[in-house]
């Protein structure tokens, strides 16, 4: 029985700066999802557990399953990536392998260093030559949302020409930078994709290609397309709407690189940073009882301080408050303030597991950032503004913002 594989595919809709996603899985037999997550540990009541059967669930993995499985790469400590560059007989690289590699590094390493507060030491080991694939690009039937069969064919052919000269052992993930002239231009179709959870090919000495990110074309987001794809290697879902991309502006908008990786707000949500181990439990205020209290948060873009107030709502939902400012990976952010959003652990990648609460639903902001998808750019709550989630029994008011960057919020859970 083949273990489940997770695919995250990005595609650009003609005439719009948009991403499309396709969720897929490979398994030995059809079975419906088991929507019964295990309860969170008594000492971590806000760390909602992943829901079995949900593609890249937003929940925390069960520790036993986490220790036993290797579906995703580690997200703290030293993470080693093997980075290869490929071209094809009908799409020969137009410039050097070094030039292509420099489009992504050291930028991706620096992005993850900032996002993780130095807790992820990203090490890319490149093979700085073009690896010529044995068949033309057209033979692989690569298009937006291409399937597992095409991926396995490509990976097996890659090993035919690279296995003897490259040692694939000892790496947590593999990046494959495809010559940018293979396939249509990125303004027609963005083909970049990540596969994790099942091995598409195995080297002669037993190394598995089971966590692979492939980057095609010249993406609007530049190096951040690889930051996004590697996010899947670490277990994060797509936050954009896979089936109706226009709905992305009603979900997470530009507030996480796992949503719109070209967005002005290019960092990750506090929920993701906590899941990945970049935030400690002490940096999270978990509200499980009925109470009214005042909390002080510091921006997620900078290290130190409390980073989020989380209010769980049952076993699969939580409401989160965090602070975003125009610094670090969010240096181009449109608005500063308290960002509020709902997390659902029972919703598949690409189906809306995160929904941002819009503090200003009648307006958009920074419309220059995208042809669409700007209504949530002014989503943060400013001093004096109030919001909440009626279904979860939560309300809050932003009380103050100090010159030192501390935001005080009064939260009521009924």
Q: Domain limits of the chain? A: 6-31+72-234, 248-413
Which class does domain 6-31+72-234 fall in?
alpha beta
Burial call 107-138: b when 16+ CB within 10 Å, e when fewer:
ebbebbbbbbbebbebebebeeebbebeeebe
Name the pLDDT band for 69 (thresholds 50, 70, 90).
low
Per-residue pLDDT reduced to its tens digit, 317-349: 999 999 999 999 999 999 999 999 999 999 999
Q: Answer whether 210's CB lies under 8 Å from 192's CB.
A: no
| Closest by CA position to 12, among listed 152, 185, 182 | 185
Mean pLDDT computed over 210-214: 97
Strands 394-401 and 386-389: antiparallel
ω into residue 143 within 30 of 0, thus cis?
Answer: no
pLDDT at 22: 32
Q: Answer whether 386's CB lies under 8 Å from 281's CB.
A: no
* pLDDT higher at 184 or 258: 258
pLDDT at 20: 30
Per-residue pLDDT reduced to its tens digit, 228-277: 999 999 999 999 999 888 899 999 999 999 999 989 999 999 999 999 99
pLDDT at 299: 98
CA distance 182 to 196: 23
Quote the pTM value: 0.91
CA distance 158 to 177: 13
């Amino acid at each position: 029985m083949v273990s489940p594989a997770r695919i995250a595919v990005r595609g650009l809709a003609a005439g719009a700066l948009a991403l499309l996603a396709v969720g897929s899985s490979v398994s030995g037999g059809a079975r419906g999802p088991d929507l019964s997550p295990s309860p969170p540990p008594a000492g971590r009541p806000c760390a909602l557990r992943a829901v079995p059967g949900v593609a890249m669930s937003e929940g925390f993995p069960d520790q036993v399953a986490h220790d036993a499985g290797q579906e995703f790469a580690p997200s703290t400590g030293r993470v080693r990536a093997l980075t290869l560059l490929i071209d094809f007989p009908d799409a020969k690289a137009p410039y050097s392998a070094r030039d292509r590699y420099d489009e992504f590094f050291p930028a991706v390493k620096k992005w993850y260093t900032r996002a993780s507060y130095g807790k992820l030491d990203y090490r890319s080991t490149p093979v700085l030559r073009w690896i010529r694939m044995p068949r033309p690009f057209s033979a692989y039937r690569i298009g937006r949302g291409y399937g597992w069969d095409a991926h396995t064919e490509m990976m097996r052919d890659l090993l035919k020409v690279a296995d003897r000269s490259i040692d694939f052992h000892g790496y947590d993930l593999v990046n494959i930078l495809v010559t940018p002239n293979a396939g249509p231009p990125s303004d027609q179709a963005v083909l970049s994709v990540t596969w994790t959870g099942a091995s598409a090919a195995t080297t002669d000495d037993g190394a598995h290609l089971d966590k692979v990110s492939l980057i095609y074309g010249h993406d609007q987001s530049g190096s951040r397309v690889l930051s996004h794809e590697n996010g899947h290697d670490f277990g994060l879902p797509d936050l954009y709407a896979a089936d109706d991309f226009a709905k992305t502006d009603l979900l997470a908008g530009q507030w996480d690189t796992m949503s719109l990786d070209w967005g002005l707000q290019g960092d990750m949500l506090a929920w993701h940073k906590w899941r990945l181990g970049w935030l400690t439990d002490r940096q999270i205020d978990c509200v499980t009882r009925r109470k009214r209290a005042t909390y002080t948060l510091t921006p997620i873009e900078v290290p130190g301080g409390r980073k989020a107030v989380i209010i769980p709502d049952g076993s699969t939902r939580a409401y989160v408050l965090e602070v975003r400012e125009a610094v670090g990976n969010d240096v181009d952010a449109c608005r500063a303030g308290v960002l509020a959003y709902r997390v659902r652990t029972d919703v598949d990648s690409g189906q809306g597991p995160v929904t941002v609460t819009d503090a200003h639903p009648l307006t958009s902001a920074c419309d220059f950032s995208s042809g669409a998808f700007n209504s949530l750019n002014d989503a943060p709550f400013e001093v004096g503004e109030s919001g909440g989630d009626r279904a979860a029994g939560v309300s809050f008011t932003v009380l103050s913002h100090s010159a030192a960057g501390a935001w005080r919020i009064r939260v009521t859970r009924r």
